[in-house]
């Protein structure tokens, strides 16, 4: 039998403290105050005295949909890119290893905003693809490099003994990777992928610069014609906050479920 | 301690002397979004140039004030005026009722109209309405955007800069661009990358006047600028500037 205890080896990839913290079980946790506070504030603004805010809430919903589309499309595609590059990073083939490492180094060395411009307009020169798809590809290409490092760390966190045991049982390297290592590694990388998802949701606002009509773009369009800058960006910030808090809760619940599964 | 006191007194003295010197010629800070050729743009030497720049310099000369230009992104250019980062905006701003409700304008200093540009491969479209079911681009928050949004069934796409809209049309992602006449002429007729790809269709379909924008209630500056504009028009300096930039 494979020793499952070893899958708990923790790896830390993330950009901040997890909200909510697992041990935080009081009634007024930071998460609850932020989440419900934001929702109550939204409702108050929308149905309060001023009509201005309601007009903004009516203007932006299709932008929220585009933000979701970009985020989910980019996270799925970046997992594909990341898995391929991550496997490449631990490959013993020098060419594959070199290519994957080059990809990771180059992408991580260029600011996301610059990459978005570059990929979006570079893609446009050679092939005709719709704007949202171009934005998704650009985001996924960037995030794939970070995903690659997560997958590499995750795979390397599985003790060497496992692959040796699998090989000695007569499995091929590919079989050992597919049936023994990757299923275990996947559990290890899920939490950091969750973090990446939240980070990507926030970074997806950058695609507004590419004229993709996401939440931020819709807000900017509204503000630029009504000049209600303060009101508009208050609403936009609150909507982003509610979305990220909601998903971070969902991801932490998912993690707990996974840990209970053992 | 004493040295600090002496220093601060000296600093105060210098400060009051310099303000006194500047008070003689009033200086105003003016924002412009220099991505709107030929009206306002950045040249090869990183200098802000264009019709509006020459025009305001001429106006300032007549009105007896000094001007300092500040290159500012169009999206948020009005917000900067609200927060007092500059005193005025000259950036091909069309005088509209919505804008007049929030800001004060000088008299119109030139008139233009919105016009449609499409790829040369499009043989049929003459107006925005002919592009139903397609995407039409414009710069965010401009009168061009407002015209596109008026036509039902056309998807409006907004860009931070009009140049990005033209580049997206070159990539085939959008089917038309709406912008001010002189800007359209610059991109579709003069720029060598786009000359063979785009064409201007039909005539300008709006009549708009550009004005200089100041904060609501700043009567003093509006009057000063209006005086300058009158003098420039009377001396026909504006026609010279027009031939120089718009042809």
Q: What is the pLDDT of residue B21?
A: 47
What percent of chain B is predicted at pLDDT more than 90? Answer: 84
Measure in Å the smallest separation between the Cα of A87 and chain B Cα atoms.
34
What CATH code is assigned to A28-260? 1.10.3720.10
Q: Indicate if the pLDDT at residue A187 is higher than 50.
A: yes
Does A20 sit behind a cis peptide bond, omega within 30 degrees of 0 on the bond before it? yes
Which pLDDT score is estimated for A12? Answer: 63
Q: What angle do CA B104, B203, B173 make, to 5 degrees?
A: 85
Percentage above 70 pLDDT, chain A: 89
Q: Are A100 and A119 in contact (CB under 8 A)?
A: no
Interface test with A, best of B35, B156, B158 (most A CBs within 10 A): B158
- What band does A27 get if pLDDT is binned at 50, 70 and 90? low
- What is the rounded CA–CA span in Å between residue A90 and residue A94? 10
The two structure tokens encoding residue A152: 């590499």
For residue B210, the number of C-alpha atoms closer than 13 Å in the C-beta half-sphere is 22
Domains of chain B: 2-111+209-245 (3.40.190.10), 114-201 (3.40.190.10)
Whether A118 and chain B come into contact, CB under 8 Å, resolves to: no
Residues in chain A: 262
CA distance B64 to chain A (A): 32
Name residue, tokens 């980062």: B85
Domain definitions of chain A by residue range: 28-260
For chain A, counts of helices (H) and of strands (E): 11, 0
Q: Is the pLDDT of residue A198 over 50?
A: yes
B167 interaction partners in chain A (CB closer than 8 Å): 121, 124
In whole angstroms, what is the distance from residue B45 CA to residue B10 CA?
A: 38
Closest of A210, A247, A234, A249 to residue A60, by C-alpha: A234
User: A229 and B79: CB-CB below 8 Å?
Assistant: yes
Least confident of A87-91, A248-252, B9-13: B9-13
A224 and B159 within 8 Å at the Cβ level: the answer is no
Q: Would you tell me which residues 191-210 of chain B have a C-beta closer than 8 angstroms to some C-beta of chain A?
A: none
Q: What is the pLDDT of residue B57?
A: 96
- A161/B209 Cα distance (integer angstroms): 77
> Chain A 146-205, CB below 8 Å of chain B: which residues?
none
Mean pLDDT of B154-181: 94
| Among candidates A130, A211, A226 on the partner chain, residue whose Cβ is nearest the Cβ of B158 | A211
Residues of chain A positioned with their CB less than 8 A from the CB of B141: 220-221, 224-225
Nearest to B141 among A121, A211, A224 (CB): A224
**Which of A247-261, B139-153, B192-206 bottoms out in mean pLDDT, i.e. has the lowest?**
A247-261
ipTM value, please give it: 0.76
A139 pLDDT higher than 50: yes
pLDDT average, residue stretch B121-144:
95
Buried-state track A69-98, b at ≥16 Cβ within 10 A, e below 16: bbbebbbebbbebbbbbbbbbeeeeeebee
Model confidence at A238: pLDDT above 90: yes
Q: Are B55 and B89 in contact (CB under 8 A)?
A: no
Cis ω before B38 (30° cut-off from 0): yes
Residues B168, A131: C-beta atoms closer than 8 Å: yes
Which residues in chain B have their CB less than 8 angstroms from residue A226's CB?
98
For the cut 80, the answer to whether the pLDDT of residue A84 exceeds it is yes
- The Cα–Cα gap between B28 and B22 comes to 11
Q: Which of B61-66's residues contact partners 24+ apart within 8 Å by CB, and which partners?
A: B61/B228, B62/B227, B62/B228, B62/B231, B62/B232, B62/B235, B63/B224, B63/B225, B63/B227, B63/B228, B63/B231, B64/B25, B64/B26, B65/B25, B65/B26, B65/B27, B65/B28, B65/B224, B65/B228, B66/B25, B66/B26, B66/B27, B66/B28
Q: Residue B157 region, left (φ>0) first, then alpha (ψ -120 to 50), else beta?
A: beta
A213 touches chain B (CB under 8 A): yes
CA B201 to chain centroid: 23
* Cα B224–Cα B227–Cα B231 angle in degrees, nearest 5: 140
pLDDT of residue A5: 47
**Confidence (pLDDT) at A256:** 83
The whole-number average pLDDT for the span B238-242 is 94
B98 touches chain A (CB under 8 A): yes
- Helix residue ranges per DSSP H, chain B: 2-23, 51-63, 77-82, 97-102, 143-150, 162-170, 181-185, 192-195, 219-234, 237-245
Predicted confidence (pLDDT) per residue in B71-108, tens digit: 999 988 999 999 999 999 999 999 999 999 999 999 99
Cα dihedral A141, A145, A151, A153, rounded to 10, equals -170
For residue A243, what are the contacts with CB-CB under 8 A and spacing of at least 6? Answer: A64, A67, A201
Q: A248 versus A257: which is more confidently predicted?
A: A248
Segment B37-42 mean pLDDT: 94
Q: Which residue has the higher pLDDT, A187 or B199?
A: B199
Which two three-digit tokens encode residue A93? Answer: 């083939």
Asked whether B42 and B83 are in contact (CB, 8 A), the reply is: no
Query: What percent of chain A has a predicted confidence (pLDDT) above 90?
Result: 61
A23 touches chain B (CB under 8 A): no
Q: How far apart are the first and last CA of chain A?
A: 15
Which helix (H) or strand (E) is A261 found in, with range? none
Tokens 């409006």 correspond to what residue? Answer: B156
Q: If we measure between CA atoms, which residue out of A208, A183, A196, A212 comes closest to residue A248?
A: A196
Residue B28: closest CA among B54, B57, B3 = B57
Which of A2-16, B45-59, B162-176 has the least mean pLDDT?
Answer: A2-16
Can you say whether the dihedral through the CA atoms of A123, A125, A127, A129 is positive or negative?
positive
Lowest-confidence segment of A2-11, A82-91, B81-90, B163-172 by average pLDDT: A2-11
Asked whether residue B232 carries a pLDDT value surpassing 50, the answer given is yes
CB contact (8 A) between residue B145 and residue A221: yes
pLDDT digits (tens, 9 = 90+) for A41-77: 999 998 887 788 999 999 999 999 999 999 999 999 9
Q: Does A220 touch chain B (CB under 8 A)?
A: yes
Helix and strand element counts for chain B (H, E): 10, 15
For residue A173, give both structure tokens.
């390297």
Alpha-carbon distances, residue B175 vs A18, A186, B139, B197 (angstroms): 45, 44, 15, 12
pLDDT computed for residue A10 by the predictor: 64
* Interchain pair B171, A121: CB under 8 A: yes
pTM for this predicted structure: 0.81
Is a pLDDT exceeding 60 seen at residue A146?
Answer: yes
d(CA B35, CA B52): 12
Please answer yes or no on whether A225 and B102 come within 8 Å at the CB atom: no
**What does DSSP say about strands B114-119 and B198-201: parallel, antiparallel, or unpaired?**
antiparallel
């Amino acid at each position: 039998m494979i020793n499952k205890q070893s899958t708990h080896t923790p790896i830390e990839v993330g950009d901040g403290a997890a909200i909510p913290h697992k041990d935080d079980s009081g009634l007024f946790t930071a998460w609850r105050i932020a989440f419900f506070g934001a929702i109550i504030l939204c409702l108050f603004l929308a149905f309060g005295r001023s009509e201005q805010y309601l007009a903004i809430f009516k203007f932006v919903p299709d932008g929220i949909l585009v933000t979701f589309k970009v985020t989910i499309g980019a996270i799925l595609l970046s997992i594909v890119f990341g898995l391929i590059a991550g496997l490449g990073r631990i490959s013993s083939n020098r060419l594959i290893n070199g290519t994957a490492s080059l990809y990771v180094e180059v992408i991580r060395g260029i600011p996301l905003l610059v990459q978005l411009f570059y990929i979006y307009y570079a893609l446009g020169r050679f092939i005709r693809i719709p704007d949202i798809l171009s934005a998704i590809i650009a985001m996924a290409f960037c995030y794939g490099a970070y995903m690659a490092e997560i997958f590499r760390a995750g795979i390397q966190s599985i003790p060497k003994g496992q692959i040796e045991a699998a090989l000695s049982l007569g499995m091929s390297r590919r079989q050992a990777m597919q049936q023994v290592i990757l299923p275990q590694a996947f559990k290890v990388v899920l939490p950091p992928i969750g973090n990446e998802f939240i980070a990507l949701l926030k970074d997806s606002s950058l695609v507004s610069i590419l004229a993709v009509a996401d939440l931020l773009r819709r807000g900017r369009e509204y503000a630029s014609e009504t000049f209600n800058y303060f009101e508009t960006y208050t609403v936009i910030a609150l909507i982003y906050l509610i979305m990220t808090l909601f998903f971070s809760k969902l991801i932490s619940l998912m993690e707990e479920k996974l840990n209970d599964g053992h | 301690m004493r040295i600090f006191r002496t220093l601060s007194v000296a600093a105060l003295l210098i400060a009051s002397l310099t303000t006194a010197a500047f008070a003689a010629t009033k200086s105003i800070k003016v924002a412009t979004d220099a991505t709107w050729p030929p009206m306002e743009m950045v040249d090869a030497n990183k200098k802000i140039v264009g019709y509006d720049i020459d025009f305001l310099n001429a106006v300032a000369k007549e009105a007896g004030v000094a001007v300092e230009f500040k290159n500012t992104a169009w999206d948020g250019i009005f917000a900067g005026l609200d927060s007092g980062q500059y005193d005025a905006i000259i950036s091909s701003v069309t005088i509209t009722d919505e804008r007049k409700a929030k800001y004060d304008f000088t008299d119109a200093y030139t008139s233009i109209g919105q016009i449609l540009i499409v790829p040369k491969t499009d043989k049929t479209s003459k107006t925005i309405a002919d592009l139903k079911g397609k995407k039409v681009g414009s710069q965010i928050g401009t009168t061009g955007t407002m015209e596109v949004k008026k036509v039902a069934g056309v998807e409006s796409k907004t860009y931070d800069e009009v140049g990005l809209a033209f580049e997206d049309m070159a990539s085939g992602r959008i089917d038309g661009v709406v912008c001010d006449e002189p800007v359209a002429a610059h991109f579709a007729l003069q720029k060598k990358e786009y000359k063979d790809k785009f064409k201007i269709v039909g005539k300008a379909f709006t009549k708009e006047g550009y004005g200089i924008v100041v904060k609501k209630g700043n009567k003093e500056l509006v009057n000063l600028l209006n005086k300058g504009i009158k003098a420039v028009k009377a001396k026909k300096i504006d026609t010279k500037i027009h031939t120089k930039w718009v042809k």
